[in-house]
Amino acid sequence: MGKTFVEKVFEDRLKREVSIGEFIEIEPDLALANDITAPLAIKEFKEIKRPLLHPEKIVLVEDHFVPNKDVRSANQAKILKDFAKEYKIKNYFQIGTGGVEHALLPEEGLVLPGDIVIGADSHTTTYGALSCFSTGVGSTDIAYFMATGKTWFKVPESIRFIFYGRLNKWVSGKDLILYVIGKIGVDGANYCSMEFSGETIKELTMSDRLTMSNMAIEGGGKSGIFEVDEKTLDYIKDKAKREYKIYRSDQDANYRNIYEFDCIKIEPQVACPPLPSNTKPAKELSHIKIDQAFIGSCTNGRLEDLKVSASILNGNKVHPDVRLIVIPATQKIYKEAVKEGLIDVFISSGGIVSCPTCGPCLGGHMGVLADYEVCISTTNRNFTGRMGSMKSEVYLANPAVVSASAILGRIAHPDEV
Amino acid sequence: MKLIGYSHKFGDNVSTDLIIPGRFFHLRSNLNELKLHLFEDVYPNFIEKINEGDFIVGGKNFGCGSSREHAPTIIKLAGIKAVLAKSFARIFFRNAINLGLLAIEADTDDIESGDKLIIDDEEGYIENERTGKKIGFTLLSPSIKKILLDGGLVEHIKKHKRIIL
């Protein structure tokens, strides 16, 4: 019997065979925490009273409540800054140098194929797009890693998702992953490593792949893995500053389940509240009026997302009843968007553009919803109250659908603009 | 060990946003104040209905969403002795173990709010006094149980210097 990607990564590190369901202790290559999760990790690490083993493997990113929302969030962020200074952590990113963590780490070349990455943030699955095993953990896990350089895992089963056939116009990685979650449910891949493959996957850009791995967690996935191909190698070639290793699942590997999707049947998708699995084709939701449209986040705040949004908004005006908020996910993306004239398009259409932050996605700041307001968003979660009031609603979609909706004041298919 | 307590029943897909909304992040350094908001958006004043030793009972995919560790932290701090669910979202399960909160996967369909439950975590069953039925569950692996019994990962490492797997 062959081995899956995750079995190969674990076995290569441990130099022994592993079995599904077994608990293992392993040394990750990188551990990430942000301004929400790092303060608790730091407090617990100090409680353990041990030296910091691998400062070079720690990444601290301020992104959720920055620029500091209020005194309390300022004090949270300051804990990261002080800790980074005290322990000489070079991969510490505050505003001006960083951005939204899961857009930032791939861009900085900090995550590479074959890596094992833990992050105190559920969307750490994002880096699976680069063919590394990366998964969300808790703050205590980060504290434990700081003190020991290790973490524990249960060896997961894997599920394979094969995509074939041509992609319809306006269908992106976001639509594929929403479609998958709609089919398997929000716990359909719970505890499992999801693997994305098939001829259509080869056609997807890295940006689309990052979006899909990012949302693997919304199907319960422990990770969302893509195989390395020319596009992966091209993406990392100027970014990688260290060695990496390529692993591929064997053809006869053991999967808990294998799903096949004919992409020609997939239209632009929208996930209706209150779960990412409540998916419907955008065309069926044209009666839903919106108050806010948000383009950004670790899911869809990359340059490619801004480009497709600008292509739709260019020459159009945002509907008078709608607030359009655009947030480039990192400083580099922001700078590039300025250079390419995209920011001009957003502002000319009546939208606002803010500096990188996770803010609106989690109802933190910079776009919180009032009672009974409806938002269409390129983010990853539409749980009740996620973006503000418990009486507000969030619909999830790709940047093209969100842009078209911003213009028409209701959920719209990009072809309608 | 046998645990005896009363059930507080919830449905499927209870997210960490529902357990403790993100908007209370600023109370995270003050856990005793944070715990007052436990499940507040679902049941106002829920904290007042909890007695020491009670159980939270969920359906499928309990604890989904954000990795926020404060969710299991304040459940434990509120005096809840175990969380029972048909399945757990993996990060919640992981955090519960790391913080020393017993998380049991079992068929919870027949359990209602207010049921008196007896949990035997050595034999692996939940006895429901109201129905008179016993629900079996798979025991945690001995290594994971050790972390739990030590009171979580931080206490575990202070005691053993490493994870004993």
pLDDT tens for each residue of A107-150: 999 999 999 999 999 999 999 999 999 999 999 999 999 999 99
Q: How close A138 comes to chain B (CA, Å)?
A: 6
Query: Predicted ipTM?
Result: 0.86
Closest Cβ opposite residue A362 in set B22, B153, B158: B22
| Pair A299, A220 in one domain | no
CA distance A154 to B138: 15
Domain housing A350: 270-416
Contact A150 B162 (CB under 8 A): yes
What would the mean pLDDT of B106-129 be, rounded to a whole number?
A: 96
Grade residue B163 by pLDDT with cuts at 50, 70 and 90.
low
pLDDT of residue B160: 84
Res B162: pLDDT: 66
Cα(A336)–Cα(A347) distance, rounded to whole angstroms?
16
Cross-chain residue pair A24–B154, CB shorter than 8 Å = no
A119: closest chain B residue by CA: B67
For residues A284 and A247, membership in a common domain is answered with no
The Cα A153–Cα A145 span in angstroms is 13
Does A337 share its domain with A224?
A: no
Using a CB-CB cut-off of 8 Å, the residues of chain B touching A384 are 17-18, 41
d(CA B49, nearest CA chain A) in Å: 22
Residue at which a domain ends, from A230, A261, A292: A261
Report d(CA A45, CA A138) in Å as an integer.
Answer: 13
The one-digit pLDDT tens for each residue of chain A (417 residues) are 899 999 999 999 999 999 999 999 999 999 999 999 999 999 999 999 999 999 999 999 999 999 999 998 999 999 999 999 999 999 999 999 999 999 999 999 999 999 999 999 999 999 999 999 999 999 999 999 999 999 999 999 999 999 999 999 999 999 999 999 999 999 999 999 999 999 999 999 999 999 999 999 999 999 999 999 999 999 999 999 999 999 999 999 999 999 999 999 999 999 999 999 999 999 999 999 999 999 999 999 999 999 999 999 999 999 999 999 999 999 999 999 999 999 999 999 999 999 999 999 999 999 999 999 999 999 999 998 899 999 999 999 999 999 999 999 999 999 999
Q: Name the residue ranges covered by the structural domains of chain B.
A: 2-139
> Do A337 and A308 reside in the same domain of the chain?
yes
The pLDDT assigned to A81 comes to: 98
Tell me the C-alpha distance between A310 and A87, whole Å: 42
Output the pLDDT for position B165: 61
Judge whether A142 and A37 are in contact, CB under 8 Å: yes
Q: What is the pLDDT of residue B17?
A: 85
What residues of chain B lie within 8 A of the CB of A143, using their CB? 153-154
Residues A107 and A60 in one domain: yes
Is residue A51 domain-shared with residue A148, that is, in the same domain? Answer: yes
Q: Which CATH superfamily is domain B2-139 in?
A: Aconitase, domain 4 (3.20.19.10)
Q: How far is B132 from chain A (nearest CA, A)?
A: 31
Closest CB to B154 among A47, A122, A364: A47
Residue A26 and residue A10 in contact, taking contact as beta carbons nearer than 8 Å: yes
- Amino acid at residue number A86: E
User: Of A233, A261, A289, which marks where a domain is finished?
Assistant: A261
Question: Cβ–Cβ of B153/A141 closer than 8 Å?
Answer: yes
Handedness of CA A335, A340, A343, A346 (dihedral sign): negative
pLDDT of residue A322: 98
**Closest approach of chain A CAs to the CA of B64, in angstroms?**
8
Position A189 scores a pLDDT of 96
Measure in Å the smallest separation between the Cα of A27 and chain B Cα atoms: 12
pLDDT at A314: 98
Is pLDDT at B28 greater than 80 in this prediction?
no
Decide which of A198, A229, A261 is a domain's last residue.
A261
* Strand (E) or helix (H) holding A151: strand A151-154
Q: Is B94 on the interface with A (CB under 8 A)?
A: yes
What residues contact A63, with CB distance under 8 A and at least 6 apart? A34, A35, A93, A98, A99, A100, A101, A104, A356, A357, A358
- Is B157 in contact with A48 (Cβ distance < 8 A)? yes
**What pLDDT is recorded for position B157?**
87
Domains: count for chain A: 2
Give yes or no: residues A133 and A180 share one domain: yes
Q: Given B13, B90, B154, which is nearest A140 (Cβ)?
A: B154
DSSP 8-state class, residue A68: T
The amino acid that residue A385 corresponds to is: G
The predicted pLDDT at position B158 comes to 87
Which residues on neighbouring strands pair with residue B64, listed in sequence order? B15
Residue B91 is nearest to which of A36, A65, A122, comparing CB atoms?
A122
Burial A14-46 (b: 16+ CB within 10 A, else e): eeeebeeeebbebebbbbbbbbbbbbbbbebbe
The beta-carbon neighbor of A187 closest among B21, B64, B70 is: B64
Residues of B in contact with A136 (CB under 8 A): 67, 91
Joined tokens for residue A364: 């933190």
Inform me whether the C-beta atom of residue B19 falls under 8 Å from chain A C-beta atoms: no
Q: Supply the pLDDT for residue B29.
A: 72
Closest Cβ–Cβ partner in A25, A70, A190 for B90: A190
Query: Would you call B14 an interface residue with chain A, using a CB distance cutoff of 8 Å?
Result: no
| CA nearest to B41 within chain A | A390
The stretch B85-114 carries a mean pLDDT of: 96
Task: Considering only the beta carbons, identify the residue of A23, A136, A384 that sits closest to B67.
Answer: A136
Q: How confident is the model at residue B88 (pLDDT cuts 50, 70, 90)?
A: very high
Q: Are A220 and B17 inside 8 Å of each other by CB?
A: no
Interface test mutation site (partner A, options B19, B60, B94, B101, max chain A beta carbons within 10 A): B94
Q: A285 and A378, same structural domain?
A: yes
If asked whether residues A164 and A220 sit together in one domain, one would say yes
Distance from CA of B5 to the nearest CA of A (A): 28
For the residues B68-83, what does the mean pLDDT come to? 94
Residues 100-139 of B with CB under 8 A from A: none
Q: Tokens representing A62?
A: 């301020």
CATH of the domain at A350: 3.30.499.10
Helix-strand-coil split of chain A, %, nearest 5: 40, 20, 40
Pair A99, A171 in one domain: yes
Q: Of residues B164 and B152, which shows the higher confidence score?
A: B152
| Residue A194 and residue A328 in one domain | no
pLDDT for res B41: 86
Closest-CA residue of chain B to A71: B26
**Is residue A400 within 8 Å of A268, Cβ to Cβ?**
yes
Instruction: Verify that A174 and A30 share a domain, yes or no.
Output: yes
